[in-house]
Structures are given as structure tokens and as C-alpha cells.
């Protein structure tokens, strides 16, 4: 059983929803990023999404685009991102890490090399937003064979005809994008999300976590209340970009986690 599966089973037994937090690897620099990631489990984060910096993050809004630029300017690469995960694992062998990003850096490294290095670094799952299910032979199936979960995105436009294809080789959890558009573009609405999550859960036993548009503890509580978990990224990245210290960002994360956990 993977760390991701163990985490969701534990939370289910405790009657809690999951809190998933995204941070861009290397933003604003390697050391600060590692300090932030290391502090996340104690702040209540159940699953860490580690963003892979890329020059053309097409699904992301300004906050994460700028975070990627800062990380790249600071010398962050795919290999250094895996080094960061490896450093985190020296002190935490429990909290799942999901690497989230785009296929180009992985393709450039080579799929076989990447999967070997990712597994060695302690990565548990992948979210690769620009690889559709029709390309599962490219990375999804090799990742599954290597013991990594491949987490797929579903959106408000994923209708009942498309959903089975999205779910076909997904594992770990399903990430439901609460809005149409880029990250950080609009606020998520629990009233809109609830029927969509219920529809998806009729077709899968995977946990369904909801992200995009969650910025406050109250919003995290409301969204987690209609799903298996809430995902927050842009709001956390924005705190860091505003010049907040790691301790201040972790206080903000703690509030979001408490919101999700009390749903």
C-alpha cells in the first residue's frame, strides 16, 4: 500500500478530510523551499504537492507562474527538485509527496531515468497536467509499474462520456478542478462542487480532492465538507511572494488545514 493510500485510509478512520498543500519547489530559493516543505506536516498538511518549475505553466495563474520564474531564476531544476524531496525524506518517511508539473522536463530527463530517480527520492505520485489519458503509454503506465500513483485531473467539463477514460488508469486520488480556467482565477463554490463530486464518486472508489479557488480556512472547510479533501496552492504561494517568513506562511497553512480537518 502506498503512502497516499495509507494517508487516506487513516484519515477516513479518523473521520477527517484531507488537506493537500502545494508549494513550488525552489521558490524563492532551495533552502527556503525545503524549510517550508519540512514544516508542512506539523502544520497539518496530509499530502504535499511539490511543484516542478517550468517555463510555460499553461494551467497556472499569475501566482504560480511567478513562483516558477523565481525558482528557475534561483537555479531550480528537475534534479534539484528531486534532491529537495530526498532531503525531506531524511526526516519524514510518512507524508506523501506528489510531484505536480508538466511533461517537458520529465521527457528531457528520460522517462526511465526520471521514474528511477523519483522513486529513489521518495516521490509517491505524479500529476502531469499536459498528458491526457490517450497518452498513458508515455508516462502513466510506466509510472504505475514503478510504484508511483498517477493522479488525474477532472474538471467541470469532464462529462459522463469522458469520465471513464479519465479514471481508467488513475490511482492515489482524483483531483477535481473546481472551476474552469487557471489556478487562482476564481473562488470555489461548495454548492457547485458538491453534485460534481457526488457524480464522480458514483464511478470510482478513489478519494476525490478539490482544488483551485480555495483561499481561506472557511473555504477549505466548505469544500472539504463535500469532498474527501481540499487542495490549496496559489494562496500559499502568494503568502510567500508577499515576503512572509516561513513561520508566517506555515501559520497560514495551519489555519487552512484546521479548516479542512474540521469539515
Q: How far apart are the C-alpha atoms of 142 and 84, rounded to whole Å?
A: 23
Q: Which residues contact 60 (CB under 8 A, 6 or more apart)?
A: 68, 182, 183, 184
Contact yes or no for 84/29 (Cβ under 8 A): no
Specify the residue for cell string 477527517.
16
**Alpha helices, DSSP H only, in the chain?**
3-14, 30-39, 62-73, 78-89, 103-109, 111-121, 140-145, 163-167, 190-201, 217-224, 234-241, 246-261
How many Cα atoms are found within 13 Å in the side-chain-facing hemisphere of 106?
A: 25
Q: How far apart are the C-alpha atoms of 76 and 58, rounded to whole Å?
A: 19
C-alpha dihedral sign at 146, 71, 173, 42: positive
Q: Looking at the annotation, which residues are catalytic? A: 49, 60
Amino acid at each position: 500500500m502506498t503512502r497516499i493510500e495509507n494517508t487516506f485510509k487513516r484519515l477516513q478512520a479518523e473521520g477527517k478530510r484531507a488537506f493537500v498543500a502545494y508549494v513550488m519547489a525552489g521558490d524563492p530559493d532551495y533552502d527556503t523551499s525545503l524549510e517550508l516543505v519540512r514544516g508542512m506536516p506539523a502544520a497539518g498538511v496530509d499530502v504535499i504537492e511539490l511543484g516542478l518549475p517550468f517555463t510555460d505553466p499553461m494551467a497556472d495563474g499569475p501566482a504560480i507562474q511567478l513562483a516558477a520564474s523565481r525558482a528557475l531564476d534561483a537555479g531550480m531544476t528537475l534534479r534539484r527538485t528531486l534532491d529537495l524531496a530526498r532531503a525531506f525524506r531524511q526526516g519524514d518517511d510518512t507524508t506523501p509527496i506528489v510531484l505536480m508539473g508538466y511533461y517537458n522536463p520529465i521527457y528531457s530527463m528520460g522517462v526511465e531515468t526520471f521514474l528511477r530517480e523519483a522513486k529513489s527520492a521518495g516521490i509517491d505520485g505524479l500529476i502531469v497536467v499536459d498528458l491526457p489519458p490517450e497518452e498513458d503509454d508515455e508516462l502513466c503506465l510506466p509510472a504505475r509499474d514503478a510504484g508511483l500513483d498517477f493522479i488525474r485531473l477532472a474538471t467541470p467539463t469532464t462529462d459522463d462520456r469522458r469520465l471513464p477514460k479519465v479514471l481508467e488508469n488513475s490511482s492515489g486520488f482524483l483531483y477535481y478542478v473546481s472551476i474552469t480556467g487557471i489556478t487562482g482565477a476564481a473562488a470555489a463554490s461548495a454548492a457547485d462542487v458538491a453534485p460534481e463530486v457526488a457524480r464522480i464518486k458514483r464511478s470510482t472508489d478513489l478519494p476525490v480532492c478539490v482544488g483551485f479557488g480555495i483561499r481561506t480556512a472557511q473555504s477549505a472547510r466548505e469544500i472539504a465538507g463535500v469532498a474527501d479533501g481540499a487542495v490549496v496552492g496559489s494562496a500559499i504561494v502568494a503568502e510567500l511572494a508577499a515576503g512572509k517568513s516561513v513561520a508566517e506562511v506555515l501559520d497560514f497553512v495551519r489555519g487552512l488545514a484546521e479548516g479542512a480537518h474540521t469539515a
